[in-house]
């Protein structure tokens, strides 16, 4: 499920959304939450040969997330990359 998309290329805004993500535990109580995210990193080569893009996959689960939220993200790396 896609929760949100953005054309904003500001990494700080992307990071803030991850840091402020909320999820509900089994009892419905809201708290810190983990997320999977994809970020398109654009950078200039130091050699001056132009601009490049790299797609990065982020698995975010804060240390203080409830155990239920933390445990729902226990997949292997290959499972994460094939999820649609």
Residue 3 lies in a domain: no
Query: In the prediction, which pLDDT does 50 show?
Result: 93
- Does the residue 1 lie in any domain? no
- The answer to whether the beta carbons of residues 53 and 33 sit under 8 Å apart is no
DSSP secondary structure string, the chain?
Answer: ----------HHHHHHHHHT-EEE-TT--EEE--EEEEEEEEEE-TTSS-EEEEEEEEEE--TTS-HHHHHTT---HHHHHH--
6: in domain: no
Structural domain count, the chain: 1
Is residue 44 included in any domain, yes or no? yes
Q: Which of the residues in the chain have pLDDT under 50?
A: 69-70, 72, 74-84
Range of the domain at 39: 11-82
């Amino acid at each position: 499920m896609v929760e949100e998309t953005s054309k904003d290329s500001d990494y700080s805004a992307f990071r803030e959304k991850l840091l402020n993500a909320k999820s509900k535990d089994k009892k419905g109580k809201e708290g810190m939450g983990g997320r999977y995210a994809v970020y398109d990193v654009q950078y200039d080569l130091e050699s001056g040969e132009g601009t490049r893009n790299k797609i990065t996959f982020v698995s975010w689960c804060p240390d203080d997330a409830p155990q239920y939220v933390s445990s729902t993200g226990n997949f292997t790396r290959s499972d994460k990359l094939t999820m649609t």
